[in-house]
Structure formats: structure tokens, C-alpha cells
Structure 1
Amino acid sequence: MRLKVVIPPRNRRFSTVDAMGLAGVVGLLVARYIPVARIIPFWGCVLREQTGWPCLGCGLTRVADRVSHLNFAGAWEANPLGTVAAIVFALAAVVMVLHLVFAMPIPQVELSPREWSVLGVVTPIIILVNYAYVVVKTRFPHLLL
């Protein structure tokens, strides 16, 4: 494995990390100040409403709301992987400001083909473990300590 990190020269070019940061700022501000789940009548998980079983994204609205209120434990309880994603988006927002305001270079990470393969195997496993937790939390909460 040969993870390679490249530090580019100082710049203010809009990048993928900046786009993630912008999405993070908008998403967390909406979650913080607009009660989306209360004001949009069709908001919610149709699968869970119809079958009682959660979908892969169940809990993400609660995660965004709780992370925006700095309730990380509550967010983790709602959906652990969603909490990690929300925190990554918040960190991307900080990096975006540093990059666009102060021209801080954003390191570029390059993965080898083997590292991409490992990532391709590990990612679905992490998603399945997270989904298993959400299912157990929703359908069988008595199994959790």
C-alpha cells in the first residue's frame, strides 16, 4: 500500500472539499433553524411507515438536527454512520473557509489500486453493520444494553 498525500500550492480554486463544505454549512444551518420534519407534511420514511422496518437512511434527519445542536451522543444513537458523515461535512465547512478565505492548500490524497479495492470491500461492510444497528435499534431495542 502506498497512500500518497500531495500538498498543492496555495490557491482559492473551488474544489470537491469546498462543495462538501458548502453542503455542510447549508445542511447544518437548515437542520439548526428550520424544523423540516414538522413543516413538510410528507417528510418521513415511507418504508418505515408502511412496513415498520427502517431504510438505510433512517435517522439522518435526527442526526442533522442533533449534530447542529452539538448533541453528538443523540446523533450517534440515531445513526452512527450518519453522525460520522455529518461531522465530516462540518469539518469540510471549516476547511472550506480556511481554503477560500486564507488560500490554505487542501491536501490531495491519492490511493493505490489495492487501497481502492480494500475501500470497495470495507465500505459496504461498514454500511451493513450500521444498517444492522439501525434495524436492531428500531425493531428490537430490548436487544441493546
Structure 2
Amino acid sequence: MKVTLPAPNRKFSLVDGLGLAGLVGLLVARYIPVAKIIPFWGCMLRETTGWPCFGCGLTRVADRVAHLNFSGAWEANPLGTVAALLFALLAVVAVLHMVFALPIPDVQLSPREWGWVRVALPIVILVNYAYVVVKTKFPHLLM
């Protein structure tokens, strides 16, 4: 892994865009009850089959993280909670970058490290999905 620190700047980057998306998403989750306002909001797969999809629990995660209920968010979807917290961190970094010209480190992974990411990420997603399925269909197993 190679990390470089550029000169202080205020150039809008991917980190700023993700931070802005995270900020907007968490503000909407905090102040607008989307699941109650939109009548068709919800997981169609879970409503028709009873089985959760890969994204089941993400609305609850956003709402609970926005209300600082981290344990409730973790219970709904652990990987979604990590993603929501990363979006919140990116929002803080984006504000610091745009207001104070804080340089954002440039991280470059080697081909071998990218290989590990390509192997680990699907495994993490499948383990998270297994947890969501067990939590939804077989909650007695988690007692």
C-alpha cells in the first residue's frame, strides 16, 4: 500500500462526493420518515417470500445511525452499519477538506492487495447476508 499526501487544496473529489451523499442521506434519515411516507417502501422479496434480500435492514440502519442508535443499527444489518458510519466519516472529512483545505491522502493498493480485497469483500457480504437471514428467519438461533 502506498499513501501520499497532496498539497492542501479544495478540489472536489470522489471523497467529497461520497461525503456529500452520506450527509444528505443521514439528514434525510434523521428528519424525514421515508418508510412511513412512501406507501410502497419496503423489501418486496421479504414481503412476498419471507426471505430477506441483500439490502434488507438498510433503511433501519440509516434511521438508527442518524439517531445515534448504533446497537440497533448493528442488529438490523452489520455491514450496512459499517457503511453508514463510513459515510458519516466521509461527510466530516469532506467538510474539513472543503472548508479548511485539509489534504485527503491518496491511497494506492498493489495488485496483490486488490486481489485480497476481491476475495474478502464477497466473503464479508455473504457472512453479513447469512446473519440477516438467520436474524429474520431463525432468530431463536441467535439467543
Q: TM-score range by the shorter chain?
A: over 0.9
> Gaps spanning 5+ residues in structure 2: where?
none
Q: Among all aligned residue pairs of Structure 1 and Structure 2, give the percentage whose two residues are the same amino acid.
A: 77
Verify: 1:24 aligned to 2:19, yes or no.
no
Q: What is the match of residue 126 of structure 1?
A: 124
Deviations 1:69-117 (A, max 9, x none): 0000000000000000000000000000000000000001100000000
Please list every run of at least 4 consecutive aligned residues from structure 1 whose deviation after the TM superposition is greater than 6 angstroms: none
- The 1-side partners of 2:49 and 2:18 are apart by 33
Kindly provide the amino acid, as one letter, of the partner of residue 45 in structure 1: C
Deviations 1:16-60 (A, max 9, x none): 110111001100000000000000011000000000000000000
> Gaps spanning 5+ residues in structure 1: where?
none
Kindly provide the amino acid, as one letter, of the partner of residue 47 in structure 1: L
- The 2-side partners of 1:91 and 1:112 are apart by 25
TM-score by length of 2: 0.99
Q: What is the match of residue 89 of structure 1?
A: 87
Verify: 1:64 aligned to 2:45, yes or no.
no
Verify: 1:117 aligned to 2:115, yes or no.
yes
- The 2-side partners of 1:72 and 1:142 are apart by 22
- The 2-side partners of 1:77 and 1:41 are apart by 25
Verify: 1:42 aligned to 2:75, yes or no.
no
TM-score by length of 1: 0.98
Q: What is the match of residue 31 of structure 2?
A: 33
Q: What is the aligned length?
A: 143
